[in-house]
Amino acid sequence: MSTLAIETAGLVKTFGDNRAVDGIDLTVRAGTVYGVLGPNGAGKTTAVKMLATLLRPDGGEAHVFGHDVVREADAVRGLVSLTGQYASVDEDLTGLENLILLGRLTGHTKKAARDRAGQLLEAFGLTEAAGRQVKNYSGGMRRRIDIAASILNTPDLLFLDEPTTGLDPRSRNQVWDIVRAVVAHGTTVLLTTQYLDEADQLAARIAVIDKGKVIAEGTKGELKASVGAGSVHVRLREADQREEAARLLGAVLDAQIQLEPDPVALTARVGTDDGALNGRGAAEQASRALAELAHAGITVDNFALGQPSLDEVFLALTGADAGHSVPATDTQKHSQKDSQKEATA
């Protein structure tokens, strides 16, 4: 079997004049978790649907374990499983009934389907809820039954389309553990997410996509390094000293300053161009900045020097906050399409 789980070249999908996926090249090694990170409307679900043979590409090529997704769609279908953003278990059936039904549909004997369902419910912490209708499940339970359903047959490639959107932190952690367990069994996972920390937690490599295009690709470390040397995070004792602290830090570090939602916190993002925050230079600059703040009578409670977060990576790459819409000027068309989609969905 090919060691590449996914290989695409110039993959395109258009809806009218909207190029939802606009020439995407991806290479995903078998046995890994690959993260596709992007905001609403970036084209994540559309790309996944083409790879899962649910949508036909309008251009380019895609292979799954060496099989062409159009010409060898049946072979591809035999290898993949998709947990959709809007998942497909039957609301009126219980968790147990859903898993047994899906097991029977995919060729298990009655006994095998029942055994497998029991195992999965146990593994996913759903034994108690096995006899309850899925429509009465909480969001987290629902997401777990969706994933359980999609790994009934241990696929070679599992697509997880925003598996934790809307979940509380505890449920997100449970889903992450499940993903890790699935990968440990040899399944390749393509995970789409709007959450930078999720890609950071799970994925070996990440493609950042925006408006149908890959705008960055690499390991987490590479992505972070491509954006900047790092950030200086500062927490002050007094909120009313923040403005002055921002001015001073901006000057000393020659950095862009971001005021955090927390009124005593601010972050200085330092670019690589001048190498300002590299190696020994970083520590020196940081201590100089601290000294300046002390000199100005500004009390610092906490001071940290860090690699950029993926959130900062996204901000730097797109000029927009991750997961939120990008400035109206260049994406108006995009967001109108999005609201149309929502209105007609």
Asked if residue 134 lies in contact with residue 90, where contact means CB atoms within 8 angstroms, the answer is yes
Nearest approach, Cβ of 239 to ligand ATP (angstroms)?
Answer: 35
**Between residues 65 and 195, which has the closer beta carbon with respect to Mg ion?**
195
DSSP class of 327: P
Q: Which does 338 bind (CB under 5 to 8 A by kind): Mg ion, ligand ATP, none?
A: ligand ATP
Residue by residue, DSSP assigns 251-264 as HHHT-EEEE-SSTT
Contact pattern for Mg ion over residues 72 through 101, marking x by CB under 5 A? -------------x----------------
Residues whose CB falls within 8 Å of the CB of residue 115, separated by 6 or more in sequence, listed in order? none
Q: Within 243-282, which residues bind Mg ion (CB under 5 A)?
A: none
User: Distance between CA 115 and CA 110 in Å, rounded?
Assistant: 9
Nearest approach, Cβ of 165 to ligand ATP (angstroms)?
Answer: 8
**Between residues 77 and 337, which has the closer beta carbon with respect to ligand ATP?**
337
Listed ranges 40-48, 123-131, 241-249, 277-285: which one lies at the site for Mg ion (CB under 5 A): 40-48
Token code pair at residue 317: 């790459």
Binding positions for ligand ATP, rule: CB under 6 A: 15, 18, 20, 38, 40-46, 85, 194, 334, 337-338, 341
CA distances to 57, 92, 247, 278 from 234, in Å: 48, 51, 13, 18
Does residue number 45 form part of the binding site for Mg ion (CB under 5 A)?
yes
Residue 298 neighbours by CB distance under 10 Å:
19
SS3 208: strand
**Between residues 273 and 342, which has the closer beta carbon with respect to Mg ion?**
342
Q: Give phi and psi for 188, each to the nearest 5.
A: -85, 140
Q: Which does 325 bind (CB under 5 to 8 A by kind): Mg ion, ligand ATP, none?
A: none
Nearest approach, Cβ of 267 to ligand ATP (angstroms)?
Answer: 26
Nearest approach, Cβ of 27 to ligand ATP (angstroms)?
Answer: 20
DSSP class of 126: -
Q: Which does 150 bind (CB under 5 to 8 A by kind): Mg ion, ligand ATP, none?
A: none
